[in-house]
Amino acid sequence: MGTRNAIDIQRIKESADYVRYLALECIERAESGHPGLPLGCADLGVLLYRYILKVNPDVPLWPNRDRFILSAGHGSMLLYPLLYLVGYNITLADMANFRQLGSKTAGHPEYERKLGIETTTGPLGQGFANAVGIAIEGKMMAQRFNEAGFNLFDYTVYTLMGDGCNMEGISYEAASLAGHLGLDNLIAIYDSNHISIDGRTDITFTDDVAKRYEALGWHVEFAASSDIETTFRKLLELKDTKGKPRLLIFNTVIGDGLDKKRDTNDIHGSPAEIPEIAFFIQNSSAIRELFEKKYGKGAVTDKQALEEILAKRITNQKTEPLLAFAESDEFMRQMRRETQAIYREWEERLAQYKEAFPEKYNELSRYLRFELSASLHDKLVNYSYQKSNATRFISGEVLNLCAVEIPQIVGGSADLADSTKGLVKGSPYIKRGDFSGRRIAFGIREHAMAAIGNGLALNKSMIPFSSTFFTFFDYMKPAVRLASLMRLNHLFIFSHDSIYVGEDGPTHQPIEHLNSLRLLPNLYTFRPANDIETAFSYLYFLKHMNGPVALITTRQKIDEKIMGIVPAGVSREEFYNMFEKGGYVFYETAGKGEPGIVLCGSGSEVSLARETAALIEARNNIKVRVVSIPCLELLNETECSYREQLFNQFNKPVVFIEAASHRGIHLFCDRHVVMIDIHSFGKSAPGKQVAESFGFTAEAVYERIEKQLA
Amino acid sequence: MGTRNAIDIQRIKESADYVRYLALECIERAESGHPGLPLGCADLGVLLYRYILKVNPDVPLWPNRDRFILSAGHGSMLLYPLLYLVGYNITLADMANFRQLGSKTAGHPEYERKLGIETTTGPLGQGFANAVGIAIEGKMMAQRFNEAGFNLFDYTVYTLMGDGCNMEGISYEAASLAGHLGLDNLIAIYDSNHISIDGRTDITFTDDVAKRYEALGWHVEFAASSDIETTFRKLLELKDTKGKPRLLIFNTVIGDGLDKKRDTNDIHGSPAEIPEIAFFIQNSSAIRELFEKKYGKGAVTDKQALEEILAKRITNQKTEPLLAFAESDEFMRQMRRETQAIYREWEERLAQYKEAFPEKYNELSRYLRFELSASLHDKLVNYSYQKSNATRFISGEVLNLCAVEIPQIVGGSADLADSTKGLVKGSPYIKRGDFSGRRIAFGIREHAMAAIGNGLALNKSMIPFSSTFFTFFDYMKPAVRLASLMRLNHLFIFSHDSIYVGEDGPTHQPIEHLNSLRLLPNLYTFRPANDIETAFSYLYFLKHMNGPVALITTRQKIDEKIMGIVPAGVSREEFYNMFEKGGYVFYETAGKGEPGIVLCGSGSEVSLARETAALIEARNNIKVRVVSIPCLELLNETECSYREQLFNQFNKPVVFIEAASHRGIHLFCDRHVVMIDIHSFGKSAPGKQVAESFGFTAEAVYERIEKQLA
**A76-99 confidence digits (pLDDT tens):** 999 999 999 999 999 999 999 999
Report the pLDDT value the prediction gives residue B705, as an integer from 0 to 100. Answer: 80
Cβ–Cβ < 8 Å for A233, A7: no
Strand locations in A581-658 (E): 584-588, 597-601, 624-628, 654-657
Cβ–Cβ contact B674 with A under 8 A: yes
Give the whole-angstrom CA distance, residue A6 versus residue A232.
10
Phi, psi of A493, deg, nearest 5: -110, 115
ipTM here: 0.96
Going by their DSSP bridges, the two strands A584-588 and A624-628 should be labelled as antiparallel
Going by their DSSP bridges, the two strands B199-200 and B219-224 should be labelled as unpaired
Mean pLDDT of chain A: 94
| Among candidate residues A360, A345, A284, A339, the one with its CA nearest the CA of residue A87 | A339
Give the residue on B whose Cα is nearest the Cα of A706.
B616
In this complex, the residue of A215, A597, A670 whose CB is nearest that of residue B709 is: A597
Give the whole-angstrom CA distance, residue B382 versus residue B571.
10
Cβ–Cβ contact B477 with A under 8 A: yes
Res. B3: pLDDT tops 50? no
Helix (H) or strand (E) holding B465: strand B463-469
Give the whole-angstrom CA distance, residue A544 versus residue B705.
39
DSSP assignment letter at A598: E
Q: By mean pLDDT, which of A37-51, A265-279, A551-565, B694-708 is the weakest?
A: B694-708
Q: Which residues have a Cβ under 8 Å from the Cβ of A336 and sit 6 or more positions away?
A: A56, A57, A58, A86, A87
Q: Which residues have a Cβ under 8 Å from the Cβ of A107 and sit 6 or more positions away?
A: A32, A33, A76, A99, A122, A684, B503, B504, B505, B508
Res. B2: pLDDT tops 50? no
Going by their DSSP bridges, the two strands A624-628 and A597-601 should be labelled as parallel
In this complex, the residue of B73, B120, B415 whose CB is nearest that of residue A198 is: B415
List all residues of chain A from 195 to 224 with a beta carbon under 8 Å from chain B.
Answer: 196-199, 201, 203-212, 214-217
Cβ–Cβ contact B689 with A under 8 A: yes
C-beta atoms of A677 and B660 within 8 A: yes
Give the whole-angstrom CA distance, residue A441 versus residue A418.
12
> Average pLDDT of B88-111?
96
| Among candidate residues B107, B90, B30, B79, the one with its CA nearest the CA of residue B272 | B30
| pLDDT tens digits, one per residue of B303-344 | 999 999 999 999 999 999 999 999 999 999 999 889 999 999
A668 band by pLDDT with thresholds 50, 70 and 90 = low
Cβ–Cβ contact B429 with A under 8 A: yes
Is A446 designated active site?
A: yes
Give the residue on A whose Cα is nearest the Cα of B596.
A709
Cβ–Cβ contact A670 with B under 8 A: yes
| pLDDT tens digits, one per residue of B568-627 | 899 999 999 999 999 999 999 998 889 998 999 999 999 999 999 999 998 888 999 999
CA angle A347, A348, A352 (to 5 degrees): 120
Cβ–Cβ contact A703 with B under 8 A: no
| Among candidate residues B120, B118, B129, B126, the one with its CA nearest the CA of residue B175 | B129
Distances (CA, A) of B183 to B137, B172, B432, B434, B464: 10, 15, 8, 11, 18
Report the pLDDT value the prediction gives residue A707, as an integer from 0 to 100. Answer: 79
Strand locations in B297-426 (E): 389-390, 409-413
Measured in angstroms, the CA of A618 and the nearest CA of chain B are apart by 12
Buried b (16+ CB within 10 A) or exposed e, A500-513: bbbbbbbbbbbbbb
> Average pLDDT of B292-309?
95
Cβ–Cβ < 8 Å for A647, A532: no
Report the pLDDT value the prediction gives residue B666, as an integer from 0 to 100. Answer: 65
B1 band by pLDDT with thresholds 50, 70 and 90 = very low
Report the pLDDT value the prediction gives residue A680, as an integer from 0 to 100. Answer: 79
Phi-psi region of A502 (alpha: psi -120 to 50; beta: other; left: phi over 0): left
Angle between helices B303-315 and B285-295 (to 10 degrees): 70
Report the pLDDT value the prediction gives residue A3, as an integer from 0 to 100. Answer: 47
Three-class SS state of B248 = strand
Q: Which residue, among A176, A612, A663, would best test binding to B if mutated, counting the most B CBs under 10 Å from its CB? A: A663
In this complex, the residue of A30, A485, A500 whose CB is nearest that of residue B506 is: A485
| pLDDT tens digits, one per residue of A197-248 | 889 999 999 999 999 999 999 999 999 999 999 999 999 999 999 999 999 9
Give the residue on B whose Cα is nearest the Cα of A703.
B612
Report chain B residues whose CB lies below 8 A from the CB of A509.
681-683, 690
Res. A58: pLDDT tops 80? yes
C-beta atoms of A168 and B169 within 8 A: yes
> Average pLDDT of A514-529?
96
Residue A482, number of CB atoms within 10 A of its CB = 28
In this complex, the residue of B167, B471, B657 whose CB is nearest that of residue A443 is: B167
Measured in angstroms, the CA of A291 and the nearest CA of chain B are apart by 28
Res. B346: pLDDT tops 70? yes
Beta partners for residue B465, in sequence order: B411, B491
| Among candidate residues B429, B447, B446, the one with its CA nearest the CA of residue B438 | B429
A2 band by pLDDT with thresholds 50, 70 and 90 = very low
Beta partners for residue A315, in sequence order: none
In this prediction, what percent of chain B has a pLDDT beyond 90?
Answer: 86
Report the pLDDT value the prediction gives residue A686, as an integer from 0 to 100. Answer: 87
Report the pLDDT value the prediction gives residue B99, as an integer from 0 to 100. Answer: 95
Give the whole-angstrom CA distance, residue A686 versus residue A680.
17
List all residues of chain A from 123 to 142 with a beta carbon under 8 Å from chain B.
Answer: 123-124
Report the pLDDT value the prediction gives residue B675, as an integer from 0 to 100. Answer: 74
Q: How many residues does chain A have?
A: 710
Q: B651, exposed or middle or buried, with CB in 10 Å at 0-12, 13-18, 19+? A: exposed
Give the whole-angstrom CA distance, residue B703 versus residue B215.
61
A457 band by pLDDT with thresholds 50, 70 and 90 = very high
| pLDDT tens digits, one per residue of B29-72 | 999 999 999 999 999 999 999 999 999 999 999 999 999 999 99
| pLDDT tens digits, one per residue of B113-132 | 999 999 999 999 999 999 99
Give the residue on B whose Cα is nearest the Cα of A681.
B506
Q: Which residues have a Cβ under 8 Å from the Cβ of B284 and sit 6 or more positions away?
A: B17, B20, B21, B257
Give the whole-angstrom CA distance, residue A234 versus residue A219.
12
> Average pLDDT of B3-28?
92
Give the whole-angstrom CA distance, residue B488 versus residue A116.
46
DSSP assignment letter at A216: T
Res. A543: pLDDT tops 90? yes
Measured in angstroms, the CA of B610 and the nearest CA of chain A are apart by 8
Give the whole-angstrom CA distance, residue B448 versus residue A426.
38
C-beta atoms of B683 and A499 within 8 A: yes
DSSP assignment letter at A551: E
Report the pLDDT value the prediction gives residue B694, as an integer from 0 to 100. Answer: 86
Measured in angstroms, the CA of B360 and the nearest CA of chain A are apart by 30
Going by their DSSP bridges, the two strands A491-495 and A463-469 should be labelled as parallel
Buried b (16+ CB within 10 A) or exposed e, B671-692: bbbbbbbbbebbbbbbbebbbe
Which amino acid is located at A469 in the chain?
F
Cβ–Cβ contact A660 with B under 8 A: yes
In this complex, the residue of A206, A214, A686 whose CB is nearest that of residue B217 is: A206
A28, A173, A446, A533: which one is catalytic? A446
Give the whole-angstrom CA distance, residue B334 versus residue B340.
10
Q: B240, exposed or middle or buried, with CB in 10 Å at 0-12, 13-18, 19+? A: exposed
Report chain A residues whose CB lies below 8 A from the CB of B33.
503
C-beta atoms of A507 and B123 within 8 A: yes
Buried b (16+ CB within 10 A) or exposed e, A204-225: bbbbbbbbbbbbbbbbbbebeb
Give the whole-angstrom CA distance, residue A515 versus residue B663.
7
As a whole number of Å, the CA-based R_g of chain A is: 28
Q: Which residues have a Cβ under 8 Å from the Cβ of B575 and sit 6 or more positions away?
A: B532, B566, B567, B584
Report chain B residues whose CB lies below 8 A from the CB of A671.
647-648, 651, 653-654, 672
CA angle A89, A93, A97 (to 5 degrees): 105
Phi, psi of A396, deg, nearest 5: -60, -40
Mean pLDDT of chain B: 94
- Chain center to CA of A45: 23
A658 or A470, which is more confident: A470
Half-sphere exposure of A482 (CA within 13 A, CB side): 36
Q: Which residues have a Cβ under 8 Å from the Cβ of A355 and sit 6 or more positions away?
A: none
Q: How many CB pairs under 8 A join A and B?
A: 567
| pLDDT tens digits, one per residue of B492-529 | 999 999 999 999 999 999 999 999 999 999 999 999 99
Give the residue on B whose Cα is nearest the Cα of A674.
B655
Cβ–Cβ contact A641 with B under 8 A: no
Helix (H) or strand (E) holding A516: helix A513-518
Residue A313, number of CB atoms within 10 A of its CB = 20
Res. B217: pLDDT tops 60? yes
